[in-house]
Amino acid sequence: MDVFQKCRDSSSRTVEMRAAGVYPYYRTLTTAQEPRVRHQGRELVMLGSNNYLGLTNHPDVKAAAAAALARYGTGCAGSRLLNGTLDIHVRLEQRLAEFLGRSAVLIFSTGFQVNLGVLSCLLDRSDVAFLDKLDHASIIDGCRLAFGRSYKYRHNDMEDLEKKLRTVSEEKGKLIVVDGVFSMEGDLAALPEIVELKRRYRARLMVDDAHGIGVFGEHGRGTPEHFDVESEVDLVMGTFSKSLAAIGGFIAGDGLVIEHIKHNARAAIFSAAPPPPCVAAAMKALEIIEREPERRKRLWENTNYMKREFDWLGFDTCGSASPVIPLAIGDDMDAYQMTVKLQEAGVFANPVVSPAVPHGQAMIRTSYMASHNREHLDFALEAFARIGRELGIIK
């Protein structure tokens, strides 16, 4: 059998979608991630970005990146382990550790690599990982690379998690790994209950807070701060590609654990170091997060307004408790059609279809920024209301 046969088989779906005029992926933008973007010469209200605090086009962030570019060049030409560690890498790690109240931090070139590297080097044959069924793909893949076993429990089902914890002997190392904010559904992990089970079964806890850092908590330290369980979370993972306005990721925790990861995580020691402009941009974004808490306030004003209005219109917002607000659609094709119709009406949103969600549970994922204003939001709401009724999603 030809190894490429699977490629021909999987491509047939995208060919059909393009022929039907409903292909919604790889849309090319010609502007920054602002509340309004340009696609194919048309202006769209952006409701599909994770630029929660509106910092990716902030003049101070761009100036910091430009200064780093001028001083250090475009890249490091090697891994952190060997020739790629710059003083700004170390400074960012120190700043993140201070911000999160952790002993140490290690930064990676992407957020995906954090989970691959951390989980694959921490879990050996004597260890077991416990994953929420809706955890991010990078967590799933990181556990696949590890030698330890992994169990998935039903989404936010603490009885199912406890049942699985109970089946593992005390001699095994146990690590619960969970998203703080689930990136498609927009709901939060039940961290207080997870912490209780962690204590009872002598497990460790790692929280992927990619969508929580900068967004949740009084100081923006994420979902552990939001739930007041920071001291009980052993490892916090975060990315630079959301609130921190760049590309990259980090793991924060106890110094000895970070030291082990630093010398054993293949995704770190065999990858080129994060580019200097990205490191400088993330450091400046962190500074802005600390000095401008009003950005987080505006983000939540926008989020609460849209959640309230979507609920009033009759959309099912899937229990969202974050700036990610999905709208239940049902059929995959309806989700594709709605995405394209929204784009024609001047709104950019993202379809979430099977196998990313169970068949028949397709969604339109929307997300919000501190830099949206009421005009942007009301324009989008009018389009959602009209198209939702046209497709029979709402009455």
Q: Report the C-alpha gap between 222 and 228 in whole angstroms.
A: 10
Q: Which of 130, 282, 266 is nearest to 207 (CA)?
A: 130
The boundaries of every CATH 3.40.640.10 domain in the chain are 59-291
β-sheet bridge partners, residue 367: 324
Local confidence pLDDT in tens for the 395 residues of the chain: 899 998 988 888 888 889 989 999 999 999 999 999 999 999 999 999 999 999 999 999 999 999 999 999 999 999 999 999 999 999 999 999 999 999 999 999 999 999 999 999 999 999 999 999 999 999 999 999 999 999 999 999 999 999 999 999 999 999 999 999 999 999 999 999 999 999 999 999 999 999 999 999 999 999 999 999 999 999 999 999 999 999 999 999 999 999 999 999 999 999 999 999 999 999 999 999 999 999 999 999 999 999 999 999 999 999 999 999 999 999 999 999 999 999 999 999 999 998 888 889 999 999 999 999 999 999 999 999 999 999 999 99
| Alpha carbon distance, N-terminus to C-terminus of the chain | 50
Contact between 342 and 349 under an 8 Å Cβ cutoff? The reply is yes
Q: Report the C-alpha gap between 152 and 223 in whole angstroms.
A: 21
Among the listed residues 49, 120, 183, 371, the single catalytic one is 183
The three-class DSSP label of residue 220 is coil
Using alpha carbons, list the distances in angstroms from residue 312 to 309, 317, 350: 5, 11, 21
Contact between 349 and 48 under an 8 Å Cβ cutoff? The reply is yes
Residue 294, both tokens: 């009003």
DSSP 118-186: HHHHH--TTEEEEEETT--HHHHHHHHHSSSEEEEE-TT-HHHHHHHHHTS-TTSEEEEEEESB-TTT-
Catalytic site includes residue 242:
yes
The boundaries of every CATH 3.90.1150.10 domain in the chain are 27-52+293-390
Q: Report the C-alpha gap between 81 and 272 in whole angstroms.
A: 9
Tally Cβ neighbours within 10 Å of residue 356.
Answer: 14
Altogether, the residues listed in the chain come to a count of 395
Among the listed residues 164, 242, 284, 376, the single catalytic one is 242
Q: Report the C-alpha gap between 199 and 44 in whole angstroms.
A: 48
CATH domain 27-52+293-390 topology: Aspartate Aminotransferase, domain 1 (3.90.1150)
Tokens 């779906």 -> residue: 13
Eight-state DSSP code of residue 219 = T
Contact between 329 and 359 under an 8 Å Cβ cutoff? The reply is no
Q: Which of 263, 126, 243, 118 is nearest to 177 (CA)?
A: 118
Based on its alpha-carbon atoms, the radius of gyration of the chain, rounded to whole angstroms, reads: 21
Q: Which pLDDT belongs to residue 52?
A: 98
Among the listed residues 211, 226, 284, 307, the single catalytic one is 211
Phi/psi of residue 158, nearest 5 degrees: -70, -30
Q: Which of 65, 79, 370 is nearest to 242 (CA)?
A: 370
Catalytic site includes residue 211:
yes
Tally Cβ neighbours within 10 Å of residue 231.
Answer: 9
Phi/psi of residue 281, nearest 5 degrees: -65, -45
Q: Which CATH class is domain 59-291?
A: alpha beta
Q: Count CA atoms closer than 13 A to 33's CA, side-chain side.
A: 21
Tally Cβ neighbours within 10 Å of residue 292.
Answer: 16
Q: Count CA atoms closer than 13 A to 391's CA, side-chain side.
A: 22
